[in-house]
Amino acid sequence: MEETRTSIGLKCEIVTPEGLIYDGRAEMVVVPGEMGELGVLPRHAPLVSRTVVGEARVREIDGKGWNHLAVGSGYVKMQFDRLLLLVNTAEQATDIDTARAQAALERAEQHLARSGEPDVDMHRAEQSRQRAANRLKVAGKA
Ligand code: ATP
């Protein structure tokens, strides 16, 4: 029974406004849920849930370990052995430009250090800081 379950797998699609970033069959997918990591196996119950900035991991069928992606916030939908992760941004760990992420992190921290000044959008700076820090973390897993 377990063998059938993993050999069929689930179809995993990661989509951003720029298009389809990832498309493959997986044994398991882990996405960053609002309440922590959410692991999804084939035949998971139907589900729609919000996701947060974090790491998505895909264990491909016949693959060699996990595929790591940095993802922005969005939604996950699971239905009929098909997982759709619809997010603002997504990059495979190997595609992350760490110098760019480091520069974005420093910019965001400079904005956050100016807390209280009228022209600083703290929410935007905090979101940017989270995206950049996440990219640096996930890039290290490439
Ligand atoms: P930056 O200020 O460097 O643009 P950002 O957090 O504002 O960073 P986003 O708005 O989250 O950037 O993303 C814009 C686009 O650039 C998306 O397609 C995203 O995948 C890509 N992107 C952003 N940062 C990186 C990075 N460090 N490496 C690879 N792609 C990136």
Tens-digit pLDDT profile for residues 106-129 = 999 999 998 888 888 999 999 999
Fold annotation for 5-93:
ATP Synthase; domain 1 (2.60.15)
Q: State pTM to two decimals.
A: 0.91
Give the binding-site residues of ligand 1, using a 6 Å CB cut-off: 18, 72, 89, 91, 95-97, 100-101, 104, 128, 131-132, 135
DSSP-derived secondary structure letter, 45? P
pLDDT tens digits, 10-69: 999 999 999 999 999 999 999 999 999 999 999 999 999 999 999 999 999 987 789 999
Residue range(s) in the chain whose domain bears CATH number 2.60.15.10: 5-93
Residue 26 CB burial class (10 angstroms; 0-12, 13-18, ≥19): buried
In whole angstroms, give the CA distance from residue 92 to residue 55.
10
Fold annotation for 97-139:
1.20.5
Residue range(s) in the chain whose domain bears CATH number 1.20.5.440: 97-139
